[in-house]
Amino acid sequence: MRHRHFLSYFFYEFCQITVAIMSSGNLNFQCAIVTGGGGGIGKALAAYFISKGKKVLIAGRTESNLQKTAKEIGTAGYYLLDTGKTSDIPAFIAKVTAEHPELDCLVNNAGVQRPLEISKLDATEFLGKADQEIDINIRGPMHLALGLLSHFRQKKSAIIINVSSVLGFVPFSIINPVYNGTKAWLHFWSMNLRTQLKRDEGGRIKVVEIAPPMVGTDLHRDREDPDDNKKEKNAEALTVEEFIEAVAEGLEKGHDIITAGKMGDIVGQWYSTFGGVYSRAEEGRM
């Protein structure tokens, strides 16, 4: 398995530089809610957790997809939620935690990607799409995490898993200027959230970031060619199965940041360059 070898090498190198961000065991939770669990990476993550004996709930906007997926992979339930409608989040959290008090894992996976050409789009249309993308990719994960913290604080341990992107490290997909920025935000937010929870609350609530490279899902539905992220069209793209295999390895080894494939190199390079600076800041030496 080429990707496995690459991943092992990547993480060997990575661990030398970022020992401080390593910890063990990301599968100590009992019950996870996976946003965007009706399809793509979220569905595959949910199925993987179920295969590990976890109770899994999924949330999304399209009931037919949630229903179909829940039946197909055997989730313990599903919830209709638009993560971009942050005013709905408190009621959602109250309902899920009342129905599933053992909930101790949040997977912020739901995300959208909108091609936005600054010179071609009318400003009103641009801003409407951009605001929605920011609501879903930034405000949703932040409101869900903050909203669940008091519930998670009552647990022996809990985990927040944020799905960012390699595009949050280098914005090389120039047609997605807002998306790239939202994923950079999620990356930096995940780092600081992890550090603060470790520093101030003893690290009982872990924060893991998954930074996918290009993976063959429906994410590119708004592009001219929605299938340009499929292996047949892009040799560097991973299939969902290849990606989840790498993610499973990272989760089982307890990594705090997980990526895969050749594009995942960017994440290692970023940490080689800036990981030390961040570690010094974490230790209060800056």
Ligand X SMILES: NC(=O)c1ccc[n+]([C@@H]2O[C@H](COP(=O)([O-])OP(=O)(O)OC[C@H]3O[C@@H](n4cnc5c(N)ncnc54)[C@H](OP(=O)(O)O)[C@@H]3O)[C@@H](O)[C@H]2O)c1
Which stretches of the chain bind ligand X, using CB under 6 A?
Answer: 35-36, 38-42, 60-62, 65, 81-84, 109-113, 136, 163, 165, 212, 214-215, 217-219, 229
In the complex with ligand X, the residue whose CB is nearer, 163 or 178, is 163
Rounded CA gap, 207 and 34, in Å?
15
In the complex with ligand X, the residue whose CB is nearer, 78 or 282, is 78
In the complex with ligand X, the residue whose CB is nearer, 171 or 203, is 171
Q: How far is the CB of 68 from ligand X (least distance, A)?
A: 11
User: Amino acid identity, residue 206?
Assistant: K
**Beta-strand (E) ranges in 88-133?**
103-108
Q: How many degrees, rounded to 5, is the angle at CA 285 between CA 279 and CA 286?
A: 90
27-58: b or e for each residue (b if 16 or more CB lie within 10 Å)?
bebebbbbbbbbbbbbbbbbbbbbeeebbbbb
Q: How far is the CB of 145 from ligand X (least distance, A)?
A: 14
**What are the residues whose beta carbons fall under 8 Å from the beta carbon of 205, sequence distance 6 or more?**
149, 152, 153, 157, 158, 159, 160, 197
In the complex with ligand X, the residue whose CB is nearer, 110 or 205, is 110
In the complex with ligand X, the residue whose CB is nearer, 93 or 163, is 163
Q: How far is the CB of 113 from ligand X (least distance, A)?
A: 6
Q: How far is the CB of 114 from ligand X (least distance, A)?
A: 11
Element (H, E) at 80: strand 77-80
Distance of CA 119 to the CA centre of its chain: 30
Q: How far is the CB of 286 from ligand X (least distance, A)?
A: 30
User: Amino acid identity, residue 101?
Assistant: P
Rounded CA gap, 50 and 132, in Å?
31
Q: How far is the CB of 122 from ligand X (least distance, A)?
A: 23
Which among 249, 190, 236, 261 is positioned nearest to 48, based on CA atoms?
Answer: 249
Q: How far is the CB of 188 from ligand X (least distance, A)?
A: 16
In the complex with ligand X, the residue whose CB is nearer, 201 or 218, is 218
Question: What are the C-alpha distances in Å from 192 to residues 88, 103, 188, 189, 282?
Answer: 25, 23, 6, 5, 9
In the complex with ligand X, the residue whose CB is nearer, 21 or 219, is 219
